[in-house]
Amino acid sequence: MRSLAVACVVALVAANAAGGAPEFFHTDGAWAMLKDGGVRTWGDPGRGGDSSSVRDMSGVDMSGIEHGVQSVVATKSAFAALKADGSVISWGKASEGGDSRVNLDSVVKLAASAYAFAALRADGGVVFWGKLSADESEADEGNDGNAAQHSLEALKPLEPSHSQGDAEADEALQDLEELDSLDSLDSGVVDVIASSEAFACIKEDGTVYTWDGDLLKKVYDGDNPVVEVFGGLSSFAALRKDGSVLTWGHPEFGGDSSAVRSHLQSGVLRLERRSIFDRGFIAWKANSTAVIWGHNKKGVPLESQIVRAEQVQLRHTAGAVLRPDGTAFCFGDPKTFGDSSSVDLSNLRSILCPRFACVAIKKDGSIVTWGQRLGRQDPPELQNVVEVFGTPYSFAALIRDTSDIPRPNDRIVAWGDSQSGGRTDYPKKLPRHLEVFEVKAIHSHFDGSNNGVFIAEVRDQDSRDVLHAWGDPRYGALVADVSERSSERSQRSLQTTAPCLSSAVMTRKNVVNGNGDAISVRIMDPGWESVKILSRIAKVVIEEVLGYNAELHEGFNTVAAIFPVMAGCTNYPYDWTGCSAGSTESHVLMEGYIWQHFDVWSSVTLYTPAFAPVRASKIYRSYEGLYVSKGVWDLKTTSPALDTKEAFLSSQNPHDYFDDLTAFSSTQLAPCSQTILMDRTIMATYVQITDDTGGVDASGDGTCYDSHWWLAPGSCRDLLGAQCVPVITGGNGWMMPAFMQKSAIWGLQLAIAVAATFSDYLDLAANKLCLFYWWEPDALFIALQPKRIIFPPHNASAWANENYTTSNANHKLDTVVSYDLQAIAPDVHTFISNFNFGIDDMRALLYQKNSGTTIDSLACMWVANNEN
């Protein structure tokens, strides 16, 4: 939990204090912010994060997205903006709507499915572009919307047998008319609505058409006109003028409403669904009555609910209902939030259930949570909560102080898993406390994966509007360049970067992919410091020595997400469709942790053998283990040195060189009850390997001293920590079983504790005299010039049998290239395959980076020094 001070990845400073609250929109990897008629973007460039192609480069013309934008919609990989003059601008992945090649003017509304856009014109005509399904052929890219596209298998259940309503409606729906063209939508349309993979159009006379990319169908033309349509996951629900409801589409996702049919024949005032990916619908009737139907993620029908309600939260596996009297009840999977019996759900003001857990705000401003546990953190005790936002494994609460104390009134507190947005200082370690006078807007996003991101705009103490993002970098938590004014960014994009080399090739060529598209060589950059350095070195060589255009593709925080992208798999992690030569647009990864993500690597090779990326060369090894800073190491001038295990025997008095355990604040340490010491299977293995029964208590948990420390056998334990060398690790006990085994077998006098948070881990390791867990290559502690404690060489068979008394395995890191790089750019392939770089080279560059040298300068210097 951290107050909003933090996650500020970048500050977006407004020209003045004026301006309304922003609106946020997202694809699966990029964000767009609409404010005061202008749009700013960040995140995955290939999914709309780079909008430079649709900006006003002159700074004078009003044709770009900096001015006059009224609304924005998004597919999974592209954005479209409707301007006040009725024109439309789209950008992002071209095949999914990012390249509109039709004449889009006089438009009054936009709609977006997962992969396509629809535009309603003022003359009542509708234009579609993009593709309707993830596995649709890339050959349709650039379709002008007037030709039929491939059929949509996921939406084939658009049949009348799945519609529900009264007899007259059923009769009307039985006579579906399949049309050969889109001529029926050239005029007379008053509304267009998207589901996940299709569109519905309402005409002036109340008839309804759907288009699924293959056929245009008239789905309803009864005497009782349709006034409103909602789209869900492969399904639709329509509200008719007399208050009855029709449904059609996938029967498990709301297309079949037979279980509540009698309640949908009259009296419905409005329909509700959260997004086009919802698996069910909610119909609201008089007296706050809610009618709920649909199926959960496993295809099991939701418990049909007809209840009086103020609010309904309907998710994949469970639902929650807030009653008018302030009480709530839940239904569905008890493993998520379907069972609320352990909490008091009374005197409630609102509820929120993003996916696996729920939080309710009580009328006194406090909160109560239930469902799956969010990371290792207990829910905070909060007051004055105004609103709560959520991702699958985290929440963020807006707290507003209404007192007259002359200090900031608003703050945001987040809790849960850091990758899902549970810490506002993740992924960037920045100042923890920001003075905030007003939170103007908060938005959260997650799709597919269980990670997510929060975006917030706040008014700071200098009356500036500042943008903050935290959570998963893949979903836009790394706001790369939003702080620049649009004119500055446009001007920068016109500038030519000065070359690193005096002999630089300045006339450059593109490569041609399987679609025949001329594109730059794309270098994948997962974002940590070492791979950033290598990626920029590769970019300099590819551009200035080999003469190709090259670009960096950022926004990933794990190489596991990159392997499928390099194979052109456009729908991962949902399935392995869309992998093709035409979709392969990413070519180089300079630091591939294949051994760490071998399951994904193997899956890519298994499911897409023709397009899977390949290893090119091995560079340095990765290391992890127990480290000591150079400053502490220098304190001991006699043998054995403090980077050897012998230095930590009791006979060497190692404690003399380190802080006492009392120097560590308990608030920065996790209680033993929240660490791996509570895993009795691991503790039993520890006793089996070491015969140290004193390291485990009678219940089978690891023995805990002072609520936070595990003490090694010997004088350390005998003297209750007085002669111990402190060891700090993170997570719930990274490498703790190995450190415990080593201390017992080799007689090392160690006391081991887990930092309460990642920030505490960084702080304690850097500012206390202690040993700490670390891994290389990494920049976190490079300023400490750490030395790894040496143990006997790694014994793989012993480690396989959970005996960790030897050194950790040191894995070779690979460079990785796309399957086609050798064919489309053989000299680039040769360079990557022969790339030679050592761990000492990387340590030196990371140290220079920490001393203030920019990564671009480091790359230039390295290439210049190794030009031959």
Share of the chain above pLDDT 90, in %: 33
Q: Which two tokens stand for residue 511?
A: 């490569």
| Phi, psi values for residue 200, rounded to 5° | -120, 145
Mean pLDDT computed over 375-396: 78
Instruction: Let me know whether 133 and 159 are in one domain.
Output: no
The larger pLDDT score, comparing residue 675 to residue 492, is at 675
Quote the CA–CA distance of 272 and 290 in Å, as a whole number.
10
Q: What angle do CA 250, 251, 252 make, to 5 degrees?
A: 95
- pTM > 0.75: yes or no: no
- In b/e form, how buried is each residue of 298-311, taking b as 16+ CB within 10 angstroms? eeeebeebeeebbb
User: Treating both helix axes as pointing N-terminal to C-terminal, what angle do 529-540 and 839-850 enclose, rounded to 10 degrees?
Assistant: 100
**Chosen domain end from 228, 261, 290:** 290
Report pLDDT for 582. Answer: 61
Calculate the alpha carbon distances from 743 to 636, 697, 810 in Å.
20, 18, 21
pLDDT interval class at 476 (50, 70, 90): low
List, for residues 732-768, the tens digit of each pLDDT value.
Answer: 899 999 999 999 999 999 999 999 988 899 999 999 9
Regarding whether 760 and 642 lie in a shared domain, the answer is yes
Q: Which two tokens stand for residue 35?
A: 């404010």
pLDDT of residue 429: 44
147-206 pLDDT tens trace: 223 222 233 333 333 444 444 444 444 444 555 456 778 889 999 999 888 899 999 888
pLDDT value, residue 438 = 65
Whether the CB-CB separation of 39 and 72 falls below 8 Å is answered with yes
pLDDT on residue 144: 36
Range from 439-443, 606-610, 672-676 that averages highest in pLDDT: 672-676
Q: What is the mean pLDDT of residues 394-403?
A: 77
Residue 109 shares a structural domain with residue 157? no
Give the pLDDT of residue 142.
36
Residues 790 and 860 in one domain: no
Q: Using the predicted structure, report yes or no on whether residue 794 has a pLDDT greater than 70.
A: yes
266-282 pLDDT tens trace:
888 888 876 666 677 88
| Average pLDDT score over residue span 414-435 | 61
Would 349 be classed as within a structural domain?
Answer: no
Amino acid 163: pLDDT: 43
Query: Does a structural domain hold residue 469?
Result: no
Q: Average of pLDDT values for 585-593?
A: 91
Q: Is residue 427 predicted with pLDDT exceeding 80? A: no
Residue 677 pLDDT > 90 = yes
Same domain? 277 vs 256? yes
Contacts of 336 (CB under 8 A, 6+ apart): 315, 317, 318, 355, 356, 357, 371, 372
More confident residue, 48 or 754: 754
Choose among 555, 538, 563, 561: nearest CA to 615.
Answer: 563
Quick check: 460 and 435 in contact, CB under 8 A? yes
- Answer whether residue 322 is part of any domain: no
Query: Does an H or E element contain 172, and which?
Result: helix 167-174
What are the pLDDT digits (tens) for 513-539? 777 778 899 999 888 889 999 999 999
Q: What is the pLDDT of residue 740?
A: 97
Domain assignment of residue 436, yes or no? no
Q: Report the residue count for the chain.
A: 868
Residue 39 near residue 465, CB atoms below 8 Å: no
Average pLDDT over residues 233-244: 88
Residue 525 or 142, more confident: 525
pLDDT at 2 over 70: no
- For residue 784, tell me if it sits in a domain: yes
Judged against a pLDDT cut of 90, whether residue 580 lies above it is answered with: no
Amino acid (one-letter) located at 138? E
- Residue 434 is predicted with a pLDDT of 41
**Would you state the pLDDT for residue 545?**
93
79/110 same-domain check: yes
Domain with 95 in it: what CATH number?
Answer: 2.130.10.30
Torsion of CA 42, 44, 47, 48, to 10 degrees: 20
Question: Which tens digits make up the pLDDT trace of 621-671?
Answer: 889 999 999 999 999 999 999 999 999 999 999 999 999 999 999 999 999
Higher pLDDT, 590 or 449: 590
Q: Which of 103, 126, 150 is the last residue of a domain?
A: 150
Q: Which CATH number fits the domain that encloses residue 550?
A: 3.40.190
Report d(CA 607, CA 579) in Å as an integer.
9
In a domain, 314, yes or no: no
- Predicted local confidence at residue 742, as pLDDT: 97
* Domains in the chain, number: 4
Mean pLDDT of 811-833: 92
92 and 139 share one domain: yes
Same domain, 39 and 75: yes
E strands, 710-855, are 710-711, 725-729, 750-754, 771-776, 787-788, 811-817
**127 part of a folded domain:** yes
Say whether both 661 and 779 belong to one domain: yes
What is the pLDDT at residue 663? 94
Say what the pLDDT of residue 191 is.
92
Order of all β-strands in the sheet with 107-112: 107-112, 116-121, 126-130
Report pLDDT for 51. Answer: 85
Lowest-pLDDT range of 13-22, 332-341, 799-808: 13-22
Instruction: Let me know if 387 is exposed, middle or buried by CB neighbors in 10 A (0-12, 13-18, 19+).
Output: middle
Q: Of 133, 150, 167, which closes a domain?
A: 150
Between 227 and 182, the higher pLDDT residue = 227
Residue matched to tokens 């005509």: 125
By percentage, how much of the chain surpasses pLDDT 70? 77
| Residues 752, 638 share a domain | yes
Domain residues for the domain of 39 are: 19-150
Report whether pLDDT(342) > 80. yes
Is residue 298 domain-resident? no
Examine the domain organization and report whether 753 and 785 are in the same domain. yes
Please tell me whether residues 128 and 188 are part of one structural domain.
no
